[in-house]
Amino acid sequence: MPYELFIALRYIRTGHRHAVLSTITAIAAVGIAVGVWALVVVLAFQAGMEQEIQLRVLAGTSHLNLLKENESTFTDPDRLVALVESVPGVKAACATVYIEVLLSSPKRARVAVLKGVDLRARPEANELTQTLVMGSLQALRNAEQGSGLILGSELAREMGVTIGEPVNVISSEGRLTPTGLAPRQKTFVVVGMFVSGLYEYDANWGYISMESAAELLSNDQPMSVIQAKVENIYEVKEVASRVLSRVGPGYKTTDWQQLNQSVFAALNLQRLGFFVGIALIILVASLNIITTLIMMVVEKTKDIAILLSMGATSRSILIIFIICGIAIGLLGMLVGGFCGVMTCYVANAYKLVQLDPKVYSISYVPFRIMVPDLLAVILTTFSISFVATIYPAYRACRLLPIDGLRYE
C-alpha cells in the first residue's frame, strides 16, 4: 500500500478523537449522500416515465408512416406495402386510414378516431394484435354485414357499452340526399376491446375493417397511410430515408419521434433541470469537504512538517489530502447510491407514485435505474469531491517544515 494512502486513511480513522472535525466530516458525507440519493431517485423516476410513455406510444401506434405529399388516398396500396416491406430494417407494413367520427350509444356520444384494419396484412404489422384484450381481429369481418367495431377500454367505459352492444357511427364525410347533404352513418356492433396502457389512445380510438371504412368514406380505396414496424426504433429516420428512396417522389414520411417530439423533448428538458438542480445540492454539500480538510490541515500541521523533514515531497502531501477528501465523497456516494437504489426498489414494488391517467396518460410511474445515469452520478460526485479537495491540499503541500515545527 502506498504510504500516502495509508496516512490518508489513518487521518480519516482518527477523526473521531476530535469532536468538531468528526462532526463536520459526518455532515459532509451525509450531505453528499442525500444529494446522491435524490439524484438517483429522480433520474430513475424520469427514465421510468420516459420509457413507460415510449412503450405505450409504440404499443398503440406504428413506428413509421408513409403518406402522399398531398395526403390523398393511394391508387395502388398493395404495391406500396410490398415496396416498403422490401426495405432493409422494416419488419412488416400494412395500409390503413384514419377517420374522425362521432360515436353514439344510448348513454353517451363521443368524438373519436377510427382506424381501418387491413385483415389481409401480416399480424405483426398491426399494433392491435399486441393490445387486444377482448375479441379478435377476425371478429371485425365476421360481424353482421361487416359492421364490427373494436373500442379502447376507456372509450367503451365512458360510452357505457360492452361487447355485443350497438354503437352508431356518424362520419364527417357527407352524402347527397334529396333534402341536401347529410352525414354518412352506420350502426356497428362492439366485437372487442383493446388496452394500450396510454389513456389518450384507450379513450379516443377505435378500429373497424377496411371494408367498413370504405363505406363511411364513400371510397372503394380509402387507404391513405402505409404504416410500418421497424426492427430498431432508434434507426427509424435512416429507415425512413431508405423507404422514400424506394417508393420514389411524391411521398413523405412521419415517424414516432416526430409525432411525439414535444412530449419527449419536455421529458428530456425536465431531466436535465433536475440533474443540474440536484448536482448543485451535491456541490453545496461538498463545501463541507473543504471545511473538513482545512481543519485537518491546521490540526496536522506538525505531522506535515515531520513528514516533509523525513523526505516526503510536497506532491505526496498533496496526494494525502486529496485522498482524504475523495474518501469522504466516495463514502457519501456509496451510502446515497445504496439508499437511492433501495428507494427505487420499494417504490416499484408498491407502485408508490400513482398518477391520474387522464392527465399523464399512465397510471403509475416505474422507477428504472439506467447504467448511463448511474455513471453520470458517479462521475459528477467524484468530480465535485475532487475539485473540493484542491485548495486545502494545495495549502498543505505549500507548508514549510520550519513553519510547522514553529507552530507547535
Residue 374 parent element (H or E): helix 371-397
228 shares its domain with 267: no
218 shares its domain with 100: yes
242 shares its domain with 338: no
Q: Are 29 and 332 in contact (CB under 8 A)?
A: yes
Q: Hey, what amino acid is at 309? A: S
297 shares its domain with 323: yes
pLDDT of residue 80: 95
Alpha helices in 248-353 (DSSP H): 256-259, 261-299, 301-309, 314-350
Looking at 208, 224, 255, the residue that finishes a domain is 255
Residue 73, SS3?
Answer: coil
pLDDT of residue 14: 61
CA dist 240 and 242 (Å) reads 5
| Structural domains of the chain, count | 2
CA dist 381 and 330 (Å) reads 8
Q: Which domain holds residue 288?
A: 3-57+262-407
Q: Hey, what amino acid is at 62? A: S
241 shares its domain with 381: no
Give the angle subtended at the CA of 158 by the CAs of 157 and 161, to the nearest 5°: 50
167 shares its domain with 78: yes
**CA distances (Å), origin 102, targets 80, 151, 179, 221, 405:** 31, 13, 22, 22, 91
209 shares its domain with 87: yes
217 shares its domain with 341: no
**CA distances (Å), origin 265, targets 50, 257, 271:** 10, 10, 10
236 shares its domain with 97: yes
- SS3 for 224-235 is CEEEEEECCHHH
159 shares its domain with 184: yes
Residue linked to cell 505549500: 398
CA dist 174 and 180 (Å) reads 10
Residue 60 parent element (H or E): helix 19-60
Give the angle subtended at the CA of 366 by the CAs of 363 and 372, to the nearest 5°: 145
Q: Are 131 and 151 in contact (CB under 8 A)?
A: no
134 shares its domain with 245: yes
Give the residue among 11, 1, 45 at the shortest CA–CA distance from 373: 45
* Residue 8 CA, distance from chain mean position: 42
Looking at 255, 273, 307, the residue that finishes a domain is 255
Give pLDDT tens digits along the chain (408 positions). 788 888 888 877 765 556 666 777 888 899 999 999 999 999 999 999 888 888 888 877 889 999 999 988 998 999 999 999 999 999 999 999 999 999 999 889 999 999 999 988 888 898 888 899 998 888 887 765 558 999 999 999 999 999 999 999 998 775 545 544 567 888 999 999 999 888 888 999 999 999 888 888 877 788 999 999 999 998 999 999 999 999 999 999 999 988 888 778 887 888 888 888 888 888 888 888 898 898 888 888 888 888 888 888 999 999 999 999 999 999 999 999 999 999 999 999 988 888 877 767 677 889 999 999 999 999 999 999 999 999 999 988 888 776 655 544
Looking at 221, 255, 289, the residue that finishes a domain is 255
Q: CB neighbours (10 Å) of residue 91?
A: 14
Backbone angles phi, psi at 113, to 5 degrees: -115, 125
126 shares its domain with 47: no
